[in-house]
Amino acid sequence: MLAFLLFLLAAEPSPPPKEEAAAGWIQLFDGKSLFGWTADEGAQWTAADGALKADQGPAGWLRTHAAFGDFRLRLEYRVSKPETASGVALRMGGEAGYEIRIQDTDERFPTGSIAGRAKAKPPKPEAGKWRALDVTARGTRITVRLDGRQVAALKHFGPIHGPVGLRFVEGNPVEFRNIRLKPLDMACLFQGDELKEWRAAGEGKWTMRDGVVSVAGGPGVLESARAWDDFILQIDVRAQASQAGLYFRGEKTKPVEFGVAADGEWLTQTIAVRGRQVNVWADGSPVTSRQDEEGRQWRGALGLQSYGAGTRVDVKDLCIAPLARR
């Protein structure tokens, strides 16, 4: 069984605005480190001055540990000359994924194009300034906006999820910053004022009112009837001088107990799970990225965990999207 703290901290990122986190946005780059990213062998990516940079060494990708399916991605990039070649990849993996090109002077696929598939209208060549890319991947459709203007769109039956990647081409310095992503099209698991698809165990009393699930009176667990394997999940949690946790891939009625105290404010948690890779964001900030090496089961229930006789925990907006395996 695999379990994680709702408020587990493993890094010290600069938090995004609270309203963005509440709306579901997460930081892929914490502004000061390569936490949550892996560079191709030899590629010399660094984090400095609030940006991810590559300006020397062999060509190579920098990719997220986490995988994403349907999402909106926003970032800024800067190049030193219009002919600089780079790119942003979506849904990377065993299949090629999709690359949003960066190279103003490329006649075949200029900046904003979806490489090999959709050509953007050539932009005015720019260099030395930050430019904004805004990409939406939803099902079979991908749209690209450059500096607020739509420049490319594609409908294509290709990869359905995978990491986000940044490309360095040897001899072409490039910088990226403010890399944020919002998962899309998640199904919310709390409906109405009933908990028909959930079952409780332990002393705690679970109730639901106006979309908020609450527990009081002691330790206990609320488990989902449905089992999940790979997914991305978001949940809002508030604990009053109490401890709370969320576990997943669990065996029914056999939770592993984890938890820490909260401060009484709503916190938005995002969890991405694919295979053995687990990533966690707290209020949009990346806090955990790890491989589960203990060989635990691949599929199981979701569970909300409360602790102690004085427990008072509220949960709302538990929404999830599966990352289907092919």
User: Which pLDDT tens digit goes with each residue over 16-30?
Assistant: 788 898 899 999 999
Q: Which of 83, 137, 76 is nearest to 107 (CA)?
A: 83
pLDDT of the residue at 277: 92
Measured between alpha carbons, how far is 165 from 184 in angstroms, rounded to an integer?
19
Annotated domain spans of the chain? 2-15+187-322, 23-183
pLDDT of the residue at 164: 97
Share of the chain above pLDDT 70, in %: 86
CA angle 267, 272, 275 (to 5 degrees): 150
The yes or no reply on domain 23-183 and CATH 3.40.50.300 is no
In this structure, of 50-64, 73-87, 162-176, 236-250, the range with the lowest mean pLDDT score is 236-250
Residue 25 in tokens? 């946005």
Measured between alpha carbons, how far is 242 from 271 in angstroms, rounded to an integer?
21
Q: Which of 228, 266, 224 is nearest to 244 (CA)?
A: 266
Measured between alpha carbons, how far is 215 from 172 in angstroms, rounded to an integer?
55
**Chain mean pLDDT for the chain:** 86
Q: Which of 100, 106, 54 is nearest to 78 (CA)?
A: 54
Measured between alpha carbons, how far is 50 from 175 in angstroms, rounded to an integer?
10
Q: How many CA atoms lie within 13 A of 246 on its CB side?
A: 23
Residue 190 in tokens? 């709390």
Backbone angles phi and psi of 171, in degrees to 5: 85, 10
Coil, helix or strand at residue 282: strand
Residue 290 in tokens? 């790890």
CB distance 5 to 259 below 8 Å:
yes
pLDDT of the residue at 242: 60
How far, in Å, are 36, 41, 235 from residue 307 at the CA level? 30, 45, 18
pTM confidence score: 0.89
Torsion of CA 7, 292, 29, 139, to 10 degrees: -100
Mean pLDDT of 39-60: 93
Cα 116 to chain centroid, rounded: 26
Measured between alpha carbons, how far is 291 from 163 in angstroms, rounded to an integer?
15
Coil, helix or strand at residue 154: strand
- Domain 2-15+187-322 and domain 23-183 have a common topology: yes
**Looking at per-residue confidence, does 247 or 263 come out higher?**
247
Using the predicted structure, report yes or no on whether residue 212 has a pLDDT greater than 80.
yes
pLDDT of the residue at 2: 43
Q: What is the DSSP letter of 121?
A: P
pLDDT of the residue at 117: 95
Measured between alpha carbons, how far is 25 from 183 in angstroms, rounded to an integer?
8
> What residue ranges in 157-274 does DSSP mark as E strands?
165-168, 174-183, 187-188, 198-202, 205-209, 212-216, 220-228, 231-239, 243-250, 260-261, 267-274
Structurally, at CATH architecture level, domain 2-15+187-322 sits in Sandwich (2.60)
